[in-house]
Structure 1
Amino acid sequence: MSTLRINVVLFGIGNIGGALIQQVLESQQFFLEKKNIELRFPIITNSSLAFFEKEGLKNTWEANFAQSAIPFRVEDIIEYTENQGLENLIAIDATASPELVKSYISLIQNGFHIVSANKIANTLNHDFYKEIRRNLKKFDKSYLYETSVGKGVPIINTIRDLHFSGEKITKIRGVFSSSLSYIFNRFGNEKLPFSKILQDAEKLGYTNADSREELSGNDVAEKVLILAREIELQVEITEVKITSLLLPNLNRKHTKSEYASRKDLFDTPYKIAKLTQKEHHVLRYIGEIDVESNTIEVKLVSEPINSALGQLKGTDNIIEIYTKSNGVNPIIIQGGGTGKQIVARGVLNDILKISDRMQQLDQTKYKERVWL
């Protein structure tokens, strides 16, 4: 059989998108030999400009983009793929944009599968969430987003497989933030003030330059909301109870400069929290879905140092999945780390899953033609 060409439209050529292109270029021959597929990037975009490449990306894609990119709308991209007769379409959302999310349904309706590292679509109101799934079913398309929660860790697939095999999941809890994992892992093991470790995390790029997004708990809340919806709980983000790590006197109401200059205010309350724990315990910032009590929480807890959550190191995430069959012994998924290469590799893995599905369909059509 001939090689199957997969046309990947990449929205977002920042850190993740750029790393993804490089990984594909480096592995293209491997995919041809092992999977008989060619991953082609006919269109790449940033937030406002798109580069249309008829012959596929070369190693000079960055120069080509800088020289030839033009303003675009998503409608222009859909029209281009139709005019060029492009098939086997996958749209990649490597942005953090709420605007692109609004076009997911239109993309699905016009022949695109979707792979996203952007978690926004799955955290909006439940009506929108259901409408995406209705269109996926109607147009027989896939939407994969493993990296929106676990980066390189297969959390979503594991939970989805358990749920749809009929297993009753009773609780999900864990550390979902690589940045907060790093901060509290160091805080538990070192005699340093909280503010010093927080500043180190910012300098290393583990948090945003303004770390209040991570400390607010919103990122973890969105991740646990996504997992709750994977087990078909009809919940909204407003139903997630968030205990923020920010302080009454240092929070998102303050200016960036005020926040940057007053981080030492964190030191006393977190030192007290650390010292007033039980012996051989450490602090962890977790998300928790308790199905039986119908609660979803994001909170700071104290864990035994020899427990699964207590023994974390580095920037690892760890998730405990409690089921009716396993009782008090959870399924544990641990790993992750942080960085653009890990996220890009996870996105590429989702692309390859959809490509495998396309290839199976193509082989079925080929056999039908031969039979006829």
Structure 2
Amino acid sequence: MSLRINIVLFGIGNVGSTLLAQAIESQNFFRQRYGIDLRFPVITNSTVAFFEKDGNPNQWEVNFERSAVPFSVDDIIDYVKTQQLENLVAVDATASAELVRSYLPLVQNGFHLVAASKIANTLHGEFYDQLRKTLAKFDRQFLYRTNVGAGLPVINTLADLHRVGEKITQIRGVFSGSLSYIFNRFGREDLSFSQILQAAEKAGYTEPDSREDLSGNDVARKLLVLARELGLSIEWNDISIHSLLLPDLNEKNSKQEYAIGKELLDGPYRIAKLTQTDGHVLRYIGQLDVASKKLEVKLVSEPESSPLGRLTGADNLVEIYTESYGQNPIVVQGAGAGKAVTARGVLSDILKIAESVKRTEAVWNKATV
């Protein structure tokens, strides 16, 4: 008999809706291969929630618009208690800071957590520590492998190394798919920076407002997640962020001013490109030096023959330097963005929790026989 895992999904945008499609498509496989039945008794967007009716498992496409009602997290907690639902997982596929404030009561009421959102891991250290203590107290898990590198095993690899006592000395790499795409093309093609930026926007690689990419803040958040994964007490203000924006073209400009002023970026980046050492290319990286606790987000010039220099497309590449491996880093490379790979990473975290719950239940059942 399959073990039922009850998932409350917050957010049905690109990642959330793709996750549902992947989970439902693979449901029979999960039952047959792992003995796990993934169900979604509650699905929400930012304002309303669909509560599953008996006999209609996972038919959210048909029922959401017709049956969804305004909700609060307390309503969801009351619902799962009334329905006596067990093996609970709350999945955060939103960008909501308000929802993150509900992580603690969710854990206190029996939920494991899976998050695509980086917010909980990049808030002030006091909340970060409080969440971990609450998870430990209630014996719940919080997984977030997609916080860095979408579906790539960056966090998992780092956590495994740290867990067995491997001394991590440095982490550096290209953490942004959009900026990877821009600088990979800029290094090889005779096009202006603004032309490639606009191509990236048109292809959907950047955020709707590409200043969010160029600011470096997203790379900084990922670097902060990794630093805290190593137990470092780092706050947002400790990170040195060298924005790709300019004093006269930045977040303070209106959207219209930014849209028509992108050519201002061409001169500085053309100069940076032309004044490099021969055989080098520009890359926008995040870098963490563990010993000094120094975190930097910056534009650098890399040899074309290096792993970072050979990057193509919109790939991410993360180098993890350790004491045992010396000057030869562990390299994790691949697609670091996209709704399909991100949703698959979230699904992997859900299954990891489900398998852990199943093992625990098996031990409990054996002990009570």
Please indicate, yes or no, whether the TM-score normalized by the shorter chain is above 0.5.
yes
**Whole-Å separation in 1 of the counterparts to 2:357 and 2:34:** 12
**Whole-Å separation in 1 of the counterparts to 2:55 and 2:115:** 22
Query: 1:6 and 1:151, CA in 2 relative to 1: closer, same or farther beyond 3 A?
Result: same
Residue 63, structure 1, aligned to residue 62, structure 2: yes
Query: 1:272 and 1:209, CA in 2 relative to 1: closer, same or farther beyond 3 A?
Result: same
What code does the residue aligned with 2:347 have? L
1:171-230, Cα deviation, whole Å (9 max, x unpaired): 000000011101101111111111011111111111112100110000000100010000
**Whole-Å separation in 2 of the counterparts to 1:68 and 1:49:** 9
**1:52 Cα shift?**
0.2
**Whole-Å separation in 1 of the counterparts to 2:55 and 2:264:** 53
**Whole-Å separation in 2 of the counterparts to 1:232 and 1:328:** 23
Tell me the SS of whatever aligns to 2:94.
coil
**1:148 Cα shift?**
1.2
Is this contact kept in 1: 2:94–2:117, CA < 8 A? yes
Corresponding residue number in structure 2 for 1:153 = 152
Runs of 4+ in structure 1 off by over 3 angstroms are 54-60
160-169 or 242-251: which moved more?
Answer: 160-169
What code does the residue aligned with 1:330 have? P
Structure 2: gaps spanning 5 or more residues:
none
Corresponding residue number in structure 2 for 1:144 = 143
**Whole-Å separation in 2 of the counterparts to 1:292 and 1:133:** 24
Is this contact kept in 1: 2:117–2:147, CA < 8 A? yes
**1:293 Cα shift?**
2.6
**Whole-Å separation in 2 of the counterparts to 1:195 and 1:55:** 54
**Whole-Å separation in 2 of the counterparts to 1:270 and 1:307:** 21
Corresponding residue number in structure 2 for 1:103 = 102
Q: Aligned-residue CA RMSD in angstroms? A: 1.0
What code does the residue aligned with 1:343 have? T
Q: How does 1:175-194 map to 2 (within 5 A)?
A: 175-194=174-193
The TM-score normalised by the length of structure 2 is 0.98
Corresponding residue number in structure 1 for 2:34 = 35
**1:253 Cα shift?**
0.3
1:143-162, Cα deviation, whole Å (9 max, x unpaired): 00000111010111111111
Corresponding residue number in structure 2 for 1:167 = 166
Is this contact kept in 1: 2:5–2:37, CA < 8 A? yes
Residue 130, structure 1, aligned to residue 118, structure 2: no
**1:337 Cα shift?**
4.2
**Whole-Å separation in 2 of the counterparts to 1:59 and 1:4:** 16
Query: 1:66 and 1:160, CA in 2 relative to 1: closer, same or farther beyond 3 A?
Result: same
**Whole-Å separation in 1 of the counterparts to 2:230 and 2:277:** 34
113-122 or 335-344: which moved more?
Answer: 335-344
**Whole-Å separation in 2 of the counterparts to 1:9 and 1:61:** 12
Corresponding residue number in structure 2 for 1:313 = 312
Q: How does 1:3-18 map to 2 (within 5 A)?
A: 3-18=2-17
**1:365 Cα shift?**
1.7
Corresponding residue number in structure 2 for 1:81 = 80
336-345 or 114-123: which moved more?
Answer: 336-345
Tell me the SS of whatever aligns to 1:312.
coil
Structure 1: gaps spanning 5 or more residues:
none
**Whole-Å separation in 1 of the counterparts to 2:348 and 2:51:** 24
Is this contact kept in 2: 1:195–1:264, CA < 8 A? yes
